[in-house]
Amino acid sequence: MRESTPVSMSATLAADEALARRRRAGEKVLSMASGEIGLTVHPALRERLAAAAGESAYGPVAGGHALRAAVAGYWGRRGLGIDPGLIVAGPGSKPLLFALLLALGGDVVVPVPSWVSYAAQARLAGARPIPVPIVPGQGGVPDPDRLRAAVAEARAAGRDPRSVVVTVPDNPTGTVASPGTVRRLAAAARELDLVVVSDEIYRDLVYDTSAPAESPALHAAERTVITTGLTKSLAVGGWRTGVARLPDSDIGRALHTRLVSVASQIWSSPPAPVQTAAAYAFGEPPEITEYVAAGRRLHETVVRAVADRFTAAGAALAPVRATCYLYPDFEPVRDRLARVHGVHDGDGLARFLSERHGVGVLPASAFGEPGSALRIRAATSRLYGDTDEQRTAALTAAEPLELPWIRGAVEQVGEALSDLVRTATGALSPQS
């Protein structure tokens, strides 16, 4: 007998749908809740998909050879060479992560905070997530010492942790765990006999390209699975394409067999036309790497501008080094928020920004943090324009902050924050 698993809607997708409804109703809302990348598909990529529209066969469960070879090349150029036979493609890195949890079995350690779906997926897979806090300022990687303690405690209680999920670079914090922390995590995982599932979908969005994110696969090669996709770098979330790199080891080969079996029963194969377009993109021709670089610069510029507004409002914010996310902490102004607005936690903070100022963000609770945390996640990725013209202009602008729609968005955030941290209660506006 099996109970229904408690499951709630993905917080990002739910917030996105709610904001879209308000926007359709004519409200001036800023969608900063989800990390969907609001940019236009590169024309060459779009043309590859169009040309592949006649491809309608399933092909291999793990994806066709051309795609897997291109993906192996992508990782090879990052010092992570791999046999294409150990690549598994799927309809998004989200389904791949879920299938990995099913294939691995056992319970799974997740960092706190971490992406909204890891813990939900673990529960759907019949596992219990084991939350372990990050090292402050180094999101995405559970503190290795606390990891040891949590796994020991879980095992003593009869539980069976078998894997740890990490996010490098990190969502929601926009930070990147240091090489030292990643090395210590890898050592702890080996010592504890845990498989490391390293979600590296933001890998190519580290602002300082001379200091790339360190993958745990460099230090625990035999037990690290890496996942990525084109969603974040190439703004094709709606295409549904993701890939996993399994380790070249006994662990990796056994997991490959189980992962492909799970995939065969759940989704059959990745969408065929998308595979062809993805193979082209993972080959990284110059026009594609230039697009990725332009997107990275755009994120950095807008993230820094928004970060300035948050720090000006008194929020604490670890330096954002990658992605399109900010994760400000309003603890330094807790008393004021409570006194002036009756805001006591992240949920109240998100509600205030969304309902009063049309700035849609997510509370820290969506990322597994305690309800009391006065933190929210804000994404800049939907501020780049509403039309293809605006988005293309944003991607190619020397000074994106001078584009009126981006400047207006940053100002809307600034005004919302000014109101949030004002010192007197004053008269409340009639809207609630």
**152 is a site residue for a copy of itself (CB under 8 A):** no
Which parts of 32-127 fold into alpha helices (H)? 43-51, 65-76, 93-104, 116-124
C-alpha to C-alpha distances, 363 to 261, 304, 338, nearest whole angstrom: 37, 20, 16
**391 is a site residue for a copy of itself (CB under 8 A):** no
For the CB of residue 123, give the shortest distance to a copy of itself in the complex, in Å: 9
Closest to 227 measured CA to CA, from 259, 201, 190, 260 = 201
CB-nearer residue toward a copy of itself: 183 or 258: 258
For the CB of residue 22, give the shortest distance to a copy of itself in the complex, in Å: 15
Alpha-carbon dihedral 94, 354, 391, 239, rounded to 10 degrees: 20
Q: For residue 285, is it left (φ>0), alpha (ψ between -120 and 50) or beta?
A: beta
Part in contact with a copy of itself (CB under 8 A); list of ranges 244-252, 254-262, 302-310, 328-336: 254-262
Q: Enumerate residues 186-245 that contact a copy of itself by CB under 8 A.
A: 235-240
Contacts with a copy of itself by CB under 8 A: the residue count is: 73
For the CB of residue 395, give the shortest distance to a copy of itself in the complex, in Å: 14
CB-nearer residue toward a copy of itself: 258 or 304: 258
Q: Enumerate residues 270-309 that contact a copy of itself by CB under 8 A.
A: 270-274, 277
Options 23, 258, 297, 336; binder of a copy of itself; rule CB under 8 A: 258
CB-nearer residue toward a copy of itself: 95 or 111: 95
C-alpha to C-alpha distances, 299 to 43, 295, 321, 340, 358, nearest whole angstrom: 20, 6, 10, 33, 21
The rounded distance, in Å, linking the Cα atoms of 392 and 385 is: 9
**69 is a site residue for a copy of itself (CB under 8 A):** no
Dump the DSSP string for 220-278.
Answer: SGGGEEEEEESHHHHS-GGG--EEEE--SSHHHHHHHHHHHHHHHHHTSS--HHHHHHH
Provide the mask over 100-139, with x wherever binding to a copy of itself is found by CB under 8 A and - wherever it is not. --xxxxxx---------x--xx--x-xx------------
Is 243:225 a contact under the CB 8 Å cutoff?
no
Q: Enumerate residues 306-365 that contact a copy of itself by CB under 8 A.
A: none
For the CB of residue 327, give the shortest distance to a copy of itself in the complex, in Å: 21
CB-nearer residue toward a copy of itself: 321 or 377: 377
For the CB of residue 266, give the shortest distance to a copy of itself in the complex, in Å: 5
As a residue count, the chain comes to 432
Is 366:10 a contact under the CB 8 Å cutoff?
no
